[in-house]
């Protein structure tokens, strides 16, 4: 692709730089007629730039995929990836090398049979996480079929759907979709939301439809430079989620997907933001700050610890960052009357 040297201001510029094909250019013309277009060379290049540490399979899904569509990294739970398509494509997607329209958009009937047979044969699998792509791209008829087949497996106790649909295309959270995933099992829905502005009225209504049908909602967000890497935005996001009855679950440190370095925030900065968020807001507003260890080992919890071992006891950190001694209850002799270790 040609290197971009000047600010791209028209659809023709974008096409010349190889960023959009003829079909997309046609679709963009009416948009460009209404709104200003400007893409600086730095931004145009950023997406194509891959640092030495970035990779196509940043979280090592492939290593743990016994059959197509299944990722089995933890004993008690599997991912079941039903489709490669999404309602929107995120520039920072951790599966950006895999997702997108093209062949094999959806697991074939034979592959789905094999994936379900794998789950049926592994009685330690307690939870099935339905993901993709975005599983809510499937028709309610297919969703209902998959839900029914999983419900029939006695050892599977929990279903969890991971989706961006309630914010990306809220009108697709229809009554028939809600009915389709209704199961005789605990069913959670984890919604991917990164900015409070994504929780539009329509998005909140879509979430309420799921919650009112009995599905607890969780959130997943990605920490993104320039998007939500300031405490005011994070706080507004978490409060908006809780007000919508969505329990903040994960704040993901950005995975090492190719071409995403311009979105990456240093871990120490993410930890500082989490600490400030804790100091400012309710426990309901606290997601776990996590990072998938490259290579597919596990998710590491990045939150700064609030407890540390001292020579004969522990100390605890408050929301402002101050440490306080904690007496060791197993050694009552070390503790004075005031509950402070005598040999701190």
Q: Does 79 bind ligand PLP (CB under 6 A)?
A: yes
Both tokens assigned to 338? 């005031």
Residue 133 gets the label, from left (phi > 0), alpha (psi -120 to 50) or beta, of left
CA distances from 135 to 129, 202, 290, 311 (A): 10, 20, 23, 51
Closer CB to ligand SF4, residue 126 or residue 250?
250
Q: Does 74 bind ligand PLP (CB under 6 A)?
A: yes
Work out which of 129, 159, 191, 274 binds ligand PLP, going by CB under 6 A: 129
Catalytic residues: 73-74, 77, 86, 90, 93, 95, 255, 292, 299
Q: Identify the bridge partners of residue 220 per DSSP, sorted by sequence position.
A: 192, 250
- Runs of H (alpha helix) within the chain: 11-16, 22-34, 41-46, 109-121, 140-151, 165-168, 175-181, 201-212, 231-243, 267-280
CA pair distance 177, 172, nearest whole angstrom: 8
CB of 205 to ligand PLP, least distance (A): 26
CB of 291 to ligand PLP, least distance (A): 11
- Confirm if 227 and 273 have CB atoms less than 8 A apart: no
122-151 residues in contact with ligand SF4 (CB under 6 A) are 132-134
Q: Does 77 bind ligand PLP (CB under 6 A)?
A: yes
Q: How many helices (H) and strands (E) does the chain have?
A: 10, 12
Cβ atoms within 10 Å of 97's Cβ, excluding its own: 14
Work out which of 99, 159, 191, 290 binds ligand SF4, going by CB under 6 A: 99
Cα four-point dihedral sign 163, 168, 172, 173: positive
Residue 192 interacting partner from ligand SF4, ligand PLP, none (CB closer than 5 to 8 Å by kind) = ligand SF4
Cα four-point dihedral sign 196, 198, 204, 206: negative
Q: Beta strand pairing status for 323-326 and 288-292?
A: unpaired
Segment near ligand PLP (CB under 6 A), from 5-13, 73-81, 104-112, 203-211? 73-81
Closer CB to ligand SF4, residue 93 or residue 223?
93
CB of 110 to ligand SF4, least distance (A): 23
Rg of the Cα atoms in the chain: 23
Work out which of 10, 46, 50, 89 binds ligand SF4, going by CB under 6 A: 89
For ligand PLP, the nearest residue by Cβ is: 73
Residue 217 interacting partner from ligand SF4, ligand PLP, none (CB closer than 5 to 8 Å by kind) = none
Cα four-point dihedral sign 56, 60, 63, 64: negative
Residue 73 interacting partner from ligand PLP, ligand SF4, none (CB closer than 5 to 8 Å by kind) = ligand PLP
CB of 111 to ligand PLP, least distance (A): 18
148-207 residues in contact with ligand SF4 (CB under 6 A) are 164, 192
Tell me the three state secondary structure of residue 183. Answer: coil
Segment near ligand PLP (CB under 6 A), from 68-76, 80-88, 139-147, 304-312? 68-76
| Residue that has been written with the tokens 């030495």 in this structure | 52
- Confirm if 185 and 159 have CB atoms less than 8 A apart: yes
Interface ranges with ligand PLP (CB under 6 A): 59, 71, 73-74, 77, 79, 129, 292, 299
Interface ranges with ligand SF4 (CB under 6 A): 86, 89-90, 93, 95, 99, 132-134, 164, 192
């Amino acid at each position: 692709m040609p290197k971009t040297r000047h600010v791209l201001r028209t659809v023709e510029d974008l096409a010349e730089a190889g960023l959009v094909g003829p079909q997309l250019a046609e679709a963009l013309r009416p948009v460009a007629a209404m709104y200003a277009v400007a893409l600086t060379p730095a931004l145009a290049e950023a997406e194509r730039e891959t640092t030495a540490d970035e990779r196509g399979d940043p979280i090592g899904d492939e290593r743990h995929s016994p059959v197509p569509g299944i990722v089995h990294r933890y004993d008690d739970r599997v991912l079941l990836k039903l489709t490669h398509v999404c309602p929107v494509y995120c520039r920072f997607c951790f599966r950006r090398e895999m997702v997108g329209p093209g062949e094999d958009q959806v697991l074939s009937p034979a592959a789905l049979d094999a994936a379900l047979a794998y789950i049926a044969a592994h009685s330690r699998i307690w939870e099935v996480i339905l993901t993709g792509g975005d599983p809510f791209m499937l028709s309610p008829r297919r969703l209902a079929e998959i839900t029914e087949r999983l419900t029939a497996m006695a050892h599977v106790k929990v279903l969890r759907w991971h989706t961006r649909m309630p914010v990306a295309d809220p009108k697709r959270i229809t009554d028939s979709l809600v009915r389709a995933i209704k199961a005789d099992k605990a069913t959670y829905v984890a919604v991917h939301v990164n900015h409070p502005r994504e929780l539009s009225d329509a998005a909140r209504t879509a979430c309420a439809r799921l919650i009112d049908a009995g599905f607890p909602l969780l959130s997943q967000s990605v920490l993104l430079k320039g998007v939500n890497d300031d405490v005011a935005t994070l706080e507004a996001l978490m409060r908006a989620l809780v007000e919508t009855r969505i329990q903040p679950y994960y704040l993901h440190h950005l995975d090492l997907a190719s071409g995403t370095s311009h979105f990456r925030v240093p871990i120490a900065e993410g930890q500082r933001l989490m600490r400030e968020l804790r100091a400012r807001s309710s426990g309901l507003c606290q997601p776990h700050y996590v990072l998938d260890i490259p290579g597919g080992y596990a998710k590491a919890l990045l939150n700064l610890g609030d407890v540390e071992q001292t020579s004969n006891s522990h100390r605890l950190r408050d929301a402002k960052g101050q440490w306080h001694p904690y007496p060791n209850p197993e050694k009552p002799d070390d503790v004075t009357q005031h509950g402070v270790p005598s040999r701190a």
